Chains A and B, each alone.
Chain A
Amino acid sequence: MASFLLRRLLLAVPLALGVVFLTIASLDLIPGDPAALMLGQSATTSAVEELRNSLKLDDPLLVRYFRYVAGLVQGDFGTSFREHRQISAILGETLPFTLQLAASAIAISVLLGIPLGLLSGSRPGSFADGLIRLVSLIGLSMPVFWTGLLLMVFFSVNLGWFPVAGSGTWKHLVLPSVTLALPSLAVVARMTRSGVLEVQREEYIRTAAAKGLGRRSILYKHTLRNALVPVVTALGLELGQMLGGAVLTETVFAWPGIGRLTIYSIFNRDYILVQGLVVVLALIYILINLLIDMSYSLIDPRITYS
C-alpha cells in the first residue's frame, strides 16, 4: 500500500508539469492579448507594447514555461496581470468557498442518494422506486441555472428562508449546495439502485438467504457494500466536477469560488491566474483519484494494491 501511494504521488509530478505545459501552450494558441484587454478601447500601441514588456509576455514559450515551473517549485504561483496580487492570495480567498460548496453538495448527494438508491433498488417496481426514479430523472435533466433560479424564487423571494445570493453565513450555503447536489444526487441514487439490483442476483446473496440471514443484514452487509464500488467511482468524478466546474452554480448564486474565477481569468487572458488555477485543479483531481482508488480496498478487501 505504502509503495503504491508513493508511486502514485511521484507520478503526480510529471503529470502536473505536463498539465502546466499544455496550459501555457494552449493559452499561447488562443487569440487575444491580455495587455490590450487591460488597457481597453483607448490604448495606444506603445502603451500595449510597454505593458506586454513589463508582463514579459513576449518571451519564448519555453522560457515562460521554465520560469513558471521554477517559481512553482518554490511555492510561488506568480502575480496576477490584472489584479497585481499574488495568485496564492487570490486562491487563498476563493478556494475555501469552492471546497465548502463541494463538500456540502457531496454530503447531500451521499446522505440522500445512497439511501434513496438502496430503497429503490431493494423494492424494484414499487411506488417508491418509481417516484425516486422519476425525481432523479428530473434532477439530472434540469439545467443548474434553472434549478437555481426556481429555488431562489420559492425559498428566498416567496418564503424568505434563505438569501438569494452571496456568501457569509450557513444560510447562504443551502441553496447553492442543493442546486449543485441535485444532479449528482440523481447519479448516486441511480448507480446505487442498479448496483443493488445487480448484486442481488449474485449467488452469494442467495447463499446468504439460504443460510438464514435476515433481509436487513443481507441488504446492508452484503448487497450495499458490494454495490458501492461503482458508486464511489461516480462520486469521485462528481466531486472533481464540482471543484472545477461549479461555474454555473457559482455564477447564479454569486458564490465567490474558483469556478467563476477561472472563467473570468480566461476571458481576461490573465494567463498567470489561469495557470495557477489549472495547476491547483489538476492536483485536486490527482488527489481525489488517489483517494478513490484507496477507498476501493476499504469497501472491498479483495481489491489490493502492491
Chain B
Amino acid sequence: MKYRLLAAFASVFLLATSLVFAQSTLTIVRPSDSVSLDPQFDTTSTGTVVFSQILEPLITISHNMEIEPRLATAWEVIDSTRIRFTLRQGVSFHDGTPFNAEAVKFTWDRAFNSEPPGLWASLAGPIKGVEIIDDYTVDIVSTVPYGPLLYSIALPSTGIVSPTAVEALGADFARNPVGTGPFKFVEWRTNDRVVLEANPDYWRGRPALDTVIFRTVPEEGARTLALLAGEADLDIAPSPSSLPTIEGNPDFDVQRVPGIGVFSLNFNLDRPLVSDPSIRHAIAHAIDRELIVETILEGNATVPRSVLGEPVFGFVDMAFDELYPYDPDRAVELLTEAGYERRNDGLMYDANGEVLRLKMLPSNGRIAKDLDVAEIIQEFLRQVGIVVELDVFEWSTTFSLIKGETLDYDMAAWTWFTQTADADYTLYPHYVSTELPPNSWNGSRYSNETVDALAEEGRGSGDLERRAVIYEEIQHQLALDLPTLPIFGLMETAVVSTDIEGFQVHPIQYILELFPVGRR
C-alpha cells in the first residue's frame, strides 16, 4: 500500500515535471487506430500516416504532386522495366543499423516473397524485385514493361525497414517498428494512442517537434470537441458538418485540397436497360452534381471534372458540367427518344407498360455521406420518372457484391482512390475489357478496343509525355461512352490549431509530412 502511494506520488511528480519541461508536442486525432505499424500488414490511410513517420520510402510525392527524394538522392529511368536509384549515404536506422542497398532489397523482398505477400504488394504492381548494383545503388525492376513503376516506388507503404530489427523482433516488429524517419517509435496503446519522439540524428536535421501523439477518437463530434478543449492540435479527418463552427473560430484553420478519390455511379453494361447510352446520358443530365456538393457535402468536395481526381497524374478536365449539365427536361427528352412514355404519375413506362426501374447498390459508410448522396440520386432520378431501388448493406457486404462474378444491379455507387496517384491505377483495371470482376474492377463490363489498346500502351510505356496523351484520349472516350458517371471528387480536409506552423494537408490521404511542422 505504502509503495503504491509512493508510486502515485512519483507519477504525479513526473507528470508535473513533464508538463513544465514539455517543449513541443503535436497531438493528432484520427478516426481509427492503426492495424499494424508494419506496412506489410496495414494499407489503411490512418495507419499509413503513422508508420510513414518512422519508415521512409526512397522517393515520395510532394504537396504539388512532384516526385521528391527521400532515401534516394537521384533516380534514372533505364527502360520501362527498370529504374536505377542512387541511395543516400551516411544514414542510419533508429537502431544504428546502416542504411544501404541491402536494406532496400530486404524491404522489397520481404513484401513480395513472404507467405502471404505484404498487403501493399498488389498495390505496387508487377514488381520482380531489387537488384543491388553496389552498396548505394539499386535497380528496381518490374516483370513486364510498367509505366507506373516510379509512382509505385513512391508509395508511402514502401518505407524501408531495418533488416536487423525485423530479424531480431520477428512478428513484434509490427509494434516496434524501426526505420530511418524523422520520428522514432515510443509506445502504442491499442485503440488509444501511438506516441512517437523526434529522431535527433535524422538526416534532414532534428525535427522541430519533440513528440507526436496520434490519438484514436472515432466519434467525429468528440474529435472537434477535443480540438476545442485544447487536447488535440490537428484533426486529419474532420466531418463536413463540424467545419462551419470551426471556420468561425480564430484558433483554428481549415485546410482543403482536391484529393485522389472520386465517388462515381458505375453502370453495369451487362444489364439491358443501362446498356442503352441514351439512358445513361439521361441519368447524367438528371443529377445536379453541383447541388450535391454544395448541400450534402457542404462544399467539402469538388464538382468532378473526370473519373480521376484532379491531382492524379494523367488527369484531364473533361468539362462534365458542360457535356452533361443538370437539365431534367433534356433527361426526359432523351428517355422519350429512347422509347419511354411519361404518364400522369410522372413515371416513365416502356412499350410493354413497365415502369423504368433500376436497381442500385450504394456504398454505405465507406466515406462520409455516401449513402445520403445515393439517396439524393434516387430522388433526382425519380423526378425524371426513373424508379431506383437501393439495396443498402454495410461496406464489407457491398464490397463482395461489387467484386462478384456477376452483378445483379444496374448501377453501383462507390469511391475509388487512385492510390498510386497514377492514372493507370484507375483506368486500366476499370475500363480494359478483360479486367472483369472478381479478378479486377471493370464492374461496368465496359469494352472498347481503342481504350484497351491505349491502356495497354500506357501501362507499358516509360515515356511520361506519351502516357499523358494516352490518358487524355481514354478520358475523352469515357466521357462520351459514360460507363461511369463521376458524382463528386473528394477533398482532403484537415483542421489545425493556429499554434501549429508548417502543416499542409496533402492531396494524397496516405501522406502526412510532419518533419517541417512545429509549434509557434
Kindly state whether residue B41 has any CB partner on chain A within 8 Å: yes
- Of the listed residues B115, B171, B218, B394, the one surrounded by the most CB atoms of chain A closer than 10 A to its CB is B218
B110 to chain A, nearest CB (A): 14
Give Cα A82 to B189, complex, Å: 17
Kindly state whether residue A45 has any CB partner on chain B within 8 Å: yes
Q: Considering the complex, give the chain A residue whose CB is closest to the CB of B125.
A: A42
Question: Is there an interface contact between A51 and B116, defined as CB atoms closer than 8 Å?
Answer: yes
Question: Is there an interface contact between A254 and B419, defined as CB atoms closer than 8 Å?
Answer: no
Kindly state whether residue B219 has any CB partner on chain A within 8 Å: yes
A223 to chain B, nearest CB (A): 38
Within 8 A of A (CB), among B194-250: 215-219, 221-222, 225-226, 228-229, 231
Question: Is there an interface contact between B116 and A83, defined as CB atoms closer than 8 Å?
Answer: no
Kindly state whether residue A260 has any CB partner on chain B within 8 Å: yes
Interface contact tally, CB-CB below 8 A: 141
Number of interface residues, chain B, beta carbon within 8 A:
50
Give Cα A38 to B122, complex, Å: 11
Question: Is there an interface contact between B226 and A41, defined as CB atoms closer than 8 Å?
Answer: no
Please give, as numbers and ranges, the residues of chain B lying within 8 Å of A231 by CB-CB distance. Answer: none
Question: Is there an interface contact between A269 and B116, defined as CB atoms closer than 8 Å?
Answer: no
Question: Is there an interface contact between A41 and B417, defined as CB atoms closer than 8 Å?
Answer: yes
Partner of A41, one of B121, B171, B393, B441: B441
Evaluate whether A267 and B399 lie within 8 angstroms (CB atoms) in the complex, with A94-B190, A149-B221, A254-B217 already known: no
Partner of A30, one of B397, B399, B440: B397
Kindly state whether residue B91 has any CB partner on chain A within 8 Å: no
Kindly state whether residue A44 has any CB partner on chain B within 8 Å: yes
Please give, as numbers and ranges, the residues of chain A lying within 8 Å of B397 by CB-CB distance. Answer: 30-32
**Contact mask for chain B residues 4-18; partner A; CB cutoff 8 A; 1 contact, 0 none:** 000000000000000
Partner of B174, one of A36, A84, A166, A251: A84
Please give, as numbers and ranges, the residues of chain A lying within 8 Å of B502 by CB-CB distance. Answer: none
Question: Is there an interface contact between A254 and B219, defined as CB atoms closer than 8 Å?
Answer: yes
Q: Considering the complex, give the chain A residue whose CB is closest to the CB of B414.
A: A41
Kindly state whether residue B396 has any CB partner on chain A within 8 Å: yes
Please give, as numbers and ranges, the residues of chain A lying within 8 Å of B425 by CB-CB distance. Answer: 42
Partner of A31, one of B218, B219, B231, B400: B400
Q: A residues touching B (Cβ–Cβ < 8 Å)? A: 30-33, 36-45, 47, 50-51, 54, 82-85, 90, 93-94, 145, 148-149, 152-153, 156-157, 160, 163-168, 251-254, 256-257, 260-261, 264, 267-269
Q: B residues touching A (Cβ–Cβ < 8 Å)? A: 32, 35-36, 41, 43, 115-117, 119, 121-123, 171, 174-175, 189-193, 215-219, 221-222, 225-226, 228-229, 231, 393-397, 399-401, 403, 416-417, 419, 425, 429, 438-441
